[in-house]
Structure formats: structure tokens, C-alpha cells
């Protein structure tokens, strides 16, 4: 039995080709649904990453359906670990599942660290991706953010120097999106996870038009 206020995620299988990835999903009635991309396998990431779990909790507690998963070869997901295009295909398979679960035509995608590249590729190829959130993004070029408008949210820690803050701020501003700088935090937000969750929850509310 799930009591009021409790957070229940359900195990979900995600088919990709002849293999299956593992995921966990949360139901909800608000739109958009949220797909959380974990850090890339090469970065040691998985669906139990604390930032991904915080994003899922923040979205689900506001009523949005969520899905987070392990790329192939990570955790209980079948297959071999991939990179580049293989990760985009994994994310596409997960996108199809979250859309089916939510019975919705579009979803928002939030990525962690190096999966920013995957999120942007997914957005470029699939109109079902209505919005993108990049948390502590890596290997992102400013021009790739152009045209995303209010559908773009970038969250970085004040102490994260991976990307030039000035260039990132300028790119997000030109794109028409929102840059959230979390005071006193590094790239992993160890002491500021609720702040990251709050930023994503506010972004989803904005996208919902409420």
C-alpha cells in the first residue's frame, strides 16, 4: 500500500533492438512527462545517480510522469556499454516508453553531465522532445543551444568550472532559455540537491502553462 505523500517508482523494461534496458517509472497526470538521462557509462553513471533520483522525485511529487533508466551494459540492462550514437538510440527507446506510459505526444528530457550531448541529439532528431534540461553539462557548444527558447533550462553549480560561465550564460540568453546557477555548489551538488529539484520542478510548471 502506498500512503499519501509516498514516492513509488515501478520497475520498467525498455526494449532496444533485441535487448532490454532496465528503468524505473512514476505515474502522473501533469504534463509534460520527464525522461531523465543518467551520466554516460564512460562517466560511471546509472539511473541511481543521486541527481537523477532527485529530479525524478521533484517531478513526480509535482504530478509529472517520470522515467529514468540504465543505458545498455549498465546495471541490469542487457548488452554492451556503448557511446555516441548507441546512447542516442538507447535514449530514443526510453523516450518511446515514457510517451507510451504517459499517453502523451511530447516529453521533457533532463540530462546529467556528459549525457547533455545525447539530450541535444535527441531534441534535434525527434519533435516529441518538447524541452531540454542540462544539469552540469559537458562537451556542449554554445551554438547548439540556439532556438531552444524557454524550453531550455541549464543548471550548473557556482563552483563548476568545466564550461566557461560567461560563454554559457551568453548562449543560454541568446537561446531564450534559463540558466540556474546554484550558489556554493560544485558539479555534483552534494549539499544542494533540493535546489536543483526545485529549479526543475519550476521549469516543468512553466512548460505546463500553469
pLDDT attached to residue 139: 86
Angle at 141 between CA 138 and CA 143, to 5 degrees: 150
**Nearest C-alpha neighbor of 111 from the set 170, 52, 190:** 52
Which of these ranges, 4-8, 32-36, 55-59, 206-210, has the smallest mean pLDDT?
A: 4-8
pLDDT attached to residue 7: 56
All domains of the chain in start order, with CATH: 10-208 (3.40.50.1820)
Confidence band of 6 (pLDDT split at 50, 70, 90):
very low
- Between CA 127 and CA 129 the distance in angstroms is 5
- Between CA 201 and CA 199 the distance in angstroms is 5
pLDDT attached to residue 21: 98
pLDDT attached to residue 129: 96
pLDDT attached to residue 9: 83
- Between CA 82 and CA 84 the distance in angstroms is 7
pLDDT attached to residue 2: 39
pTM of this prediction exceeds 0.85? yes
pLDDT attached to residue 58: 95
Q: Facing residues of 131 across strands?
A: 108
Instruction: Tell me the mean pLDDT in the region 68-97.
Output: 97
**Tens-digit pLDDT profile for residues 104-135:** 999 999 999 999 999 999 999 999 999 999 99
Kindly give the pairing relationship between strand 19-26 and strand 66-69: antiparallel
**Tens-digit pLDDT profile for residues 165-195:** 888 899 999 999 999 999 999 999 988 999 9
- Between CA 151 and CA 87 the distance in angstroms is 22
pLDDT at 92 over 50: yes
Torsion of CA 102, 91, 62, 75, to 10 degrees: 110
Grid cell, residue 44, equals 560511471
Grid cell, residue 9, equals 517508482
Instruction: Tell me the mean pLDDT in the region 62-80.
Output: 96
Residue whose C-alpha cell is 556503448: 82
pLDDT at 148 over 90: no
> Would you say 124 and 101 are in contact if contact means Cβ atoms under 8 Å apart?
no
Amino acid at each position: 500500500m502506498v500512503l499519501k505523500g509516498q514516492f513509488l517508482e515501478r520497475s520498467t523494461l525498455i526494449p532496444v533492438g533485441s535487448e532490454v534496458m532496465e528503468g524505473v517509472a512514476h505515474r502522473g497526470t501533469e504534463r509534460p512527462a520527464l525522461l531523465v538521462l543518467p551520466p554516460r557509462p564512460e562517466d560511471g553513471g546509472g539511473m541511481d545517480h543521486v541527481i537523477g533520483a532527485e529530479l525524478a522525485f521533484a517531478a513526480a511529487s509535482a504530478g509529472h510522469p517520470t522515467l529514468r533508466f540504465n543505458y545498455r551494459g549498465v546495471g541490469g540492462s542487457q548488452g554492451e556499454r556503448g557511446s555516441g550514437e548507441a546512447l542516442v538510440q538507447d535514449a530514443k527507446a526510453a523516450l518511446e516508453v515514457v510517451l507510451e506510459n504517459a499517453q502523451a505526444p511530447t516529453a521533457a528530457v533532463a540530462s546529467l553531465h556528459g549525457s547533455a550531448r545525447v539530450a541535444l541529439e535527441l531534441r534535434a532528431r525527434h519533435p516529441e522532445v518538447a524541452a531540454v534540461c542540462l544539469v552540469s553539462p559537458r562537451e556542449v557548444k554554445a551554438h547548439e543551444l540556439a532556438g531552444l527558447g524557454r524550453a531550455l533550462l541549464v543548471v550548473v553549480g557556482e563552483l563548476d568550472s568545466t564550461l566557461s560561465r560567461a560563454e554559457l550564460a551568453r548562449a543560454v540568453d541568446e537561446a531564450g532559455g534559463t540558466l540556474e546557477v546554484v550558489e556554493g555548489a560544485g558539479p555534483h551538488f552534494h549539499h544542494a540537491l533540493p535546489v536543483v529539484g526545485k529549479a526543475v520542478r519550476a521549469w516543468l510548471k512553466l512548460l505546463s502553462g500553469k
